[in-house]
Structure 1
Amino acid sequence: MFARSGGGRREFLKVAASGATLAALGETPRVASAAIRARNDRPRLALIGAGGQGTWDAISASRFGDFVAIADVDRAHAERARDHDRIGKKQADIHEDYRAILDRDDVDAVIVGTPDHWHTKICIDAMKAGKDVYCEKPLTLTIDEGKKLRQVVEETKRILQVGTQQRSDHNKVFLLAVALVRSGRIGKIRKVTAAIGAGPSSGPLPPETPPPGLNWDLWLGQAPMVDYTPKRCHADFRWWYEYSGGKLTDWGAHHVDVAHWGLAKDDTGPTTIEVERAELPVAFKDGWPEASDRYNTATTFQIKATFADGVPLIIRDDTENGALFEGEHGKIFVTRDRIDLEGGAVAGLYRDPVPESLLRELRHGKPLDGHMENFFACCADRGKPAADVWSHHRSLTTCHLANIAIRLGNRKLTWDPEKEAIVGDDQANAFLTRPQRAGYEVVA
């Protein structure tokens, strides 16, 4: 398994995403946590947003609870989930408006798989209605929304698990990487890189008539009223700033999160954001796209986010998707199918597993269960989930700041992570929130 490079004494280790990863952690896989196995009753669930990712999340959740209701503004999506043999089982009620679900006493928890611009409002409304929530990433459209969510979680004491499953799944390769960094195996960290891939562009997208069964006004929610085009809707919403943040929030929610986690920055953020290069597919003026008929999120980029201790986090599109930690004694690269380790400091990984106490700390005291199982375990014992709102808000803040800097002409931003404000730049601070259509405001 070990090989030496021809010109030096560097040792190199690749750990595939398999049971071997857990062995390196000194753990063995678990089928189900005691908290879940001990429950005689199964939670009653509702699915809000039954598109592709919502469907996958619901299938995973169906191992632990039973769906009694489904809501989607696209009736075809709702009916498909209702008739699915793992989700609605042809018995669940379907609704167009998610608020009908929150009024029900027979719903314990909701799974939210809507487009990004709906996440925060639905999560807040659900938690205020007494429901626990599993919500897809990225959790927010703006930094202000993250602060509101954090406030409501603290006030309601509901469980909110973010769908950043790299904190739990993929055979724990990300947990292993973070544990190795946190335990000092590669020494002081000099730089971290989060590679998240480039975004797409499009040609002109002419308006069309919304298909039957799609409530386009309700789909838009807080976003501005515009004519329907299929490429604004469903999976392609990610490439419009009106509804998402492009690759910087879509995949940044994963690998920037891992970078924050490894650096122990779950409760803080960078102090400066610098755009080293970036391209937008349309012209922008004062932070807003001048064309409305095509994708508008960044296609390529390289961002340098520097923390108070001087460690830079590079977010880029042009190297292999994953997170790279570079330390004084070696490197650790992790992606979903493997972890690569370089340097003598990690050569004894199997002989000297990372400390059990650290693994427990990284999991908030929970066993190494899957992401959805972790959510239901926390619903049962009211513990802190693996992907909590506090850490997610901080890592996504870095992603949002990168987008703000790009939208404002690649402007350097100075960020105060304590006050959560951009220093000395009123125009940039205005982008910490968004204008919202009447009737769809996000209110904590």
Structure 2
Amino acid sequence: MTTTLESLPEYPAPRAKGCPFDPSPEIRGLQKTAPLTRIKLWDGSTPWLVTRHEDVRALLSDRRVSADPTRDGYPSSSPAMVARRTQARTFISMDDPDHARLRRMVTAPFAIKRIEALRPAVQRVVDQLLDDLLAGPKPVDLVQAFALPVPSLVICELLGVPYADHGFFQENSRLLVKRDAGPAESVAAQQRLIGYLDDLIGRKLAEPADDLLSDLAARRVRTGELTRRDAAAMGMLLLVAGHETTANMIALGTAALLRHPDQLTALRETDDPKLVAGAVEELLRYLTIVHMGRRRVALDDIEYGGETIRAGEGIVLAGEVGNRDPAVFADPDKLDITRDARRHVAFGVHQCLGQPLARVELQVAYSTLFRRIPALSLATGIDELPFKHDGQVYGVYELPVTW
């Protein structure tokens, strides 16, 4: 039987109605029937889709595939991503050795021991926000009152970005992660953020403080190792990734726990930090907010799963489906905070730079929120929540709650 463009499954595909926390059933079904198969993207390109957990992990580690979006055949996720890809490259879209060289410049502040030392500060941020929330009216949008400001306040302190400017960078960040944003408005948002951070780095050169941007300015820009624009692009990556992903996980994880009261009760009533940490890993696995796959392009011919991925062909690694692989996670569609979910690929397979910080923020946010507001509940039906089906990162635009 001949495969035609029209017969290929489209990716991403819609989630099933009434199942907002589960991957698309159509794409999920490919894990059994065609774990390595061609798909059709928005631009008519036909990259390979990888859906099994073992295969996703293997190809993410394979040096024969590239994360460079400027290479021919790279499967871009939207017209906006195509427009932005040459404007300001960062280490996340580079291959070694450039990836490793640039990443090392900002590794130290995100080391596990240094991030653990920030836990009391994160706890103070969370407690203050909950004090304000409890003193105000209800119902309240938990996204604006809690989920978004927690990581924003923390990453601003770490980078040395004034939190007073959070409205500016959150609005422009939103345009960067919106899949259907127009190319022109997406590029303009990127340029506004880079311009803002370039100016800020200039001020840090004149008056350095104890923060990451000052360190980049003093140790990398002043010595000529980085241009100010390159440093600003790196700062933009850290600022956007540092609040967008965690904010979406806080809100979406809260909605999922409210949908699963037995799991919420177990989390709320425990004082075991290992159970809290395990709950975070399980929520990362279960929700996998990077829900459009990790994009790569083959550098060489790769024999895989009985097929040949040719050099120059795109690859989409569907971690959101790999994290529901029954060969690795028993009863994978069940949210079980006692599960050992540490083999999930929500962060990829390498040590994601912001991974330690995200874990601490999520552990503190979930455990404190439900302990301090034990009667927390949705103020609307789950089907009425505005889920981010149009986002590069999955979540909810609003989460009305009461107690």
Asked whether the two chains share a fold, i.e. TM above 0.5, the reply is no
TM-score by length of 2: 0.24
Higher strand proportion: 1
Identify the structure with the greater helix proportion.
Answer: 2
TM normalised by structure 1 equals: 0.22
User: Which has the bigger relative contact order, CA under 8 A and spacing at least 6?
Assistant: 2
